[in-house]
Structure 1
């Protein structure tokens, strides 16, 4: 049976993560409140931010920036977009 959570990003009951994505309290909070769909969407967005902004993940400033953006993304806040990204056309 699939585990579900009330996703704070999408405000509905959705399949949850298989395991906490981080150790500790932050990982548990995400595990309890973020759906697999929201996490997958964040992973995609985070990759675009890293690539577009040329972030070095060894740099603590970059990691702090991504953590702040993740909170905004999941909470419905105004998060940064990748400047050069143009979504593919849905026309087919």
Structure 2
């Protein structure tokens, strides 16, 4: 049986991640408080930001910026958007 978490972003009890996404306190916090669905949404958003802004993930400034955006995303705060991105219509 899968574990559930009270998802901080989606404000629902949803299926949690299988393991922390990375080591350390932030990874554990995400594991404890973010659902698989919200994590998947973040991964898609993160990819758009990296591509749009041509971020170099070897650069610590880019990594710090992305981490700050991730914290805002999961807190439900406004985050930077990829310019010109239009979500697909369903």
Aligned residues: 90
Q: RMSD of the alignment, in Å?
A: 0.7
Contact 1:52–1:84, Cα closer than 8 Å, also in 2:
no
| Superposed CA offset, 1:15-55 (max 9, x none) | 00000001011111110000000000000000000000000
| TM-score scaled by length of structure 2 | 0.96
1:88 Cα deviation from its structure 2 partner: 1.8
Superposition map of 1:46-65 within 5 A = 46-65=46-65
Where structure 2 has 5 or more consecutive residues not aligned to the other structure, the ranges are none
What is the aligned partner in structure 2 of residue 83 from structure 1?
83
1:2 Cα deviation from its structure 2 partner: 1.1
| TM-score scaled by length of structure 1 | 0.94
What is the aligned partner in structure 1 of residue 3 from structure 2?
3
Where structure 1 has 5 or more consecutive residues not aligned to the other structure, the ranges are none
Instruction: Find runs of 4+ consecutive structure 1 residues off by over 3 angstroms.
Output: none
What is the aligned partner in structure 2 of residue 14 from structure 1?
14
Determine if the alignment matches structure 1 residue 41 to structure 2 residue 11. Answer: no
Structure 2 CA distance for aligned equivalents of residues 80 and 3 of structure 1: 31
